[in-house]
């Protein structure tokens, strides 16, 4: 541990001591948390994997790529702001049921409303408005669910819980894609995703396990202090800064790889069958191998106490998978790449989340700090369309696009070595 890390631990700023004293999270609570998280990912990835692309193709058939880039880019910009803001607000919430649960309820309800707007959208403007509402609301729920982990789970169990959250994430992508495919239409697909997201949150809300904050313990609100809190100086907290940067690079690689998968199958692979079904098959294969590694890698990381070596090796595997998509543009190549990508992301999803919770600067602001980390998830969705569209259209097509994704994952995995306070 570095001198800064030691000092933080001595003053109680990291929040690890408080979580360490918490009892071990039970299976029912972990299951309910994972189910609610799955519902959020269904609300995001049913649209992202298929529905938004099909809607863009239907509304602007001659400009489908640029329309999809516009919609997803604006929505991701909303997400980038919403997640840390709602995380910070949940840190300050004094509801009797706790700090996080009210935001889960409001976020899931708002996300379902946004999906209903998308179901009836007849113009690009309405699609943008609906998708922005989905991103705004579901990020409120996601920020609260993420912050519940360091609130309720001791560090020695976070790899395991991170593994199950990884399961819910990939299953959310798979279930969202399946609902969008099986519903029989764009509008029906949105309705199915909305219903699933709401129902999936019910068990977590009913368990009412949350950390309350008394009104007297809430610091006075000042706009200047509130806004300044979102800047976490990487010179004072270098491990947090490196963790943010590496997650940003890995997510940019992933966003570039997945955002144009439907068009990759139709335009590069020339997939002969229904491309929607092809995306579902690749997503299912990716989920299969991810599920084989995500929980076991989290458990092994908890037992060994090591995080970085798992994250680095998983990043190298992810890089190899994206490079396969660049050089082997056939259906067989896409299948193999999806299987390899799942292996890498299974390890990365579980262990990197545990690593992130180990480098949070303060215990009082976990929601805000994890929200700042989640900018590294949302910002790539803003940048990926701006990067991917011109590359696909003008600068080398899908070969160059997936080569860039591989390079980003490689750099992200190597830079994990710069984190000093986590073994």
Contacts of 26 (CB under 8 A, 6+ apart): none
**Angle of helix 124-152 versus helix 64-91 axis, rounded to 10:** 40
Q: Answer yes or no: are the C-beta atoms of 79 and 135 closer than 8 Å.
A: yes
Rounded Cα distance, 323 and 318, in Å:
9
Cβ atoms within 10 Å of 206's Cβ, excluding its own: 9
Residue the block writes with tokens 């099986």: 182
Backbone angles phi, psi at 176, to 5 degrees: -60, -45
Residue the block writes with tokens 């997503």: 283
Six-digit token string for 339: 């299987």
Say if 4 falls within a structural domain: no
Domain residue limits at 384: 23-211+232-418
**Number of domains the chain is built from:** 1
Rounded Cα distance, 374 and 48, in Å:
18
Q: For residue 307, give the 3-state DSSP assignment.
A: coil
pLDDT at 362: 73
Contacts of 225 (CB under 8 A, 6+ apart): none
What are the CB-based long-range contacts (under 8 Å, 24+) for 53-61? 53/262, 53/263, 54/186, 54/276, 55/118, 55/121, 55/127, 55/186, 56/124, 56/127, 58/186, 59/122, 59/123, 59/124, 59/127, 60/124
Say if 258 falls within a structural domain: yes
Rounded Cα distance, 372 and 254, in Å:
19
pLDDT at 86: 92
pLDDT at 16: 40
Calculate Rg over the CA atoms of the chain: 20
Task: For residue 85, give the CATH number of its domain.
Answer: 1.20.1250.20
Say if 11 falls within a structural domain: no
Say if 10 falls within a structural domain: no
Say if 53 falls within a structural domain: yes
Say if 423 falls within a structural domain: no
3-class SS string, 109-145: HHHHHHHHHHHCCCCHHHHHHHHHHHHHHHHHHHHHH
The predicted model scores a pTM of: 0.75
Say if 13 falls within a structural domain: no
pLDDT in tens, the chain (423 residues): 333 333 333 333 333 434 444 577 788 999 999 999 999 999 998 998 889 988 999 999 888 888 888 998 898 889 888 988 998 899 889 898 889 999 999 999 999 999 999 999 999 999 999 999 999 999 999 999 998 988 888 888 888 888 888 889 878 888 998 899 888 899 999 999 999 999 999 999 999 888 888 887 787 777 776 777 777 778 888 998 999 999 999 989 988 887 778 888 988 998 877 888 888 889 889 888 888 888 888 888 888 888 888 999 999 999 999 999 999 999 999 999 999 998 998 888 778 878 887 888 876 777 788 888 878 877 887 788 778 888 888 888 899 999 999 999 999 999 999 998 887
Q: Answer yes or no: are the C-beta atoms of 342 and 286 closer than 8 Å.
A: yes
Our CA dihedral for 256, 261, 265, 268, rounded to 10 degrees, sits at: -10
Say if 223 falls within a structural domain: no
Contacts of 352 (CB under 8 A, 6+ apart): 162, 246, 247, 250, 307, 311, 314
pLDDT at 22: 58
pLDDT at 317: 94
Tell me the per-residue pLDDT of 377-408, one tens digit each, with 9 for 90 and over: 778 877 887 788 888 888 888 999 999 999 99
């Amino acid at each position: 541990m570095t001198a800064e890390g030691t000092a933080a631990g001595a003053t109680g700023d990291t929040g690890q001591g408080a979580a360490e004293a918490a009892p071990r999270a039970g299976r029912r609570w972990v299951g309910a948390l994972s189910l609610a998280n799955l519902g959020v990912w269904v609300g995001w990835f049913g649209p992202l994997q298929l529905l938004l692309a099909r809607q863009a193709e239907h509304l602007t058939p001659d400009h489908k790529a640029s329309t999809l880039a516009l919609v997803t880019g604006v929505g991701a910009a909303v997400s980038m702001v919403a997640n840390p803001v709602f995380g910070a607000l949940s840190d300050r919430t004094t509801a009797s049921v706790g700090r996080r649960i009210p935001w889960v309820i409001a976020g899931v309800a708002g996300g379902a409303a946004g999906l209903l707007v998308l179901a009836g959208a007849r113009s690009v403007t309405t699609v943008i408005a609906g998708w922005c509402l989905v991103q705004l609301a579901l990020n409120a729920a996601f920020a609260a669910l993420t912050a519940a982990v360091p609130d309720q789970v001791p560090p020695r169990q976070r790899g395991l819980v991170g593994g199950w959250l990884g399961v819910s994430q990939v299953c959310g992508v798979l279930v969202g894609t399946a609902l969008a495919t099986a519903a029989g239409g764009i509008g029906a697909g949105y309705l199915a995703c909305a219903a699933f997201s709401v129902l999936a949150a019910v068990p977590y809300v009913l368990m009412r396990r949350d950390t309350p904050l008394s009104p007297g313990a809430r610091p006075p609100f000042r706009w200047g202090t509130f806004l300044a809190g979102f800047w976490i100086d990487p010179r004072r907290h270098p491990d947090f800064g490196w963790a943010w940067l590496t997650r940003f690079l890995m997510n940019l690689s992933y966003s570039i790889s997945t955002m144009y998968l439907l068009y990759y199958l139709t335009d590069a692979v020339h997939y002969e069958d229904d491309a929607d079904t092809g995306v579902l098959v690749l997503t299912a294969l990716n989920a299969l191998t991810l599920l084989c590694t995500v929980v076991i890698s989290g458990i092994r990381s908890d037992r060994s106490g090591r995080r970085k070596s798992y994250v680095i090796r998983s990043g190298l595997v992810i890089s190899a998978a994206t490079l396969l998509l660049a050089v082997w543009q056939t259906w067989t190549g896409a299948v193999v790449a999806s299987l390899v990508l799942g292996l890498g992301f299974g390890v990365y999803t579980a262990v990197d989340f545990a690593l992130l919770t180990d480098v949070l600067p303060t215990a009082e602001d976990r929601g805000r700090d994890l929200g700042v980390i989640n900018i590294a998830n949302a910002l790539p969705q803003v940048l990926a369309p701006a990067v991917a569209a011109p590359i696909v259209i003008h600068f080398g097509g899908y070969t160059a696009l997936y080569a860039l994704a591989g390079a980003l994952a490689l750099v992200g995995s190597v830079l994990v070595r710069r984190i000093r306070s986590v073994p």
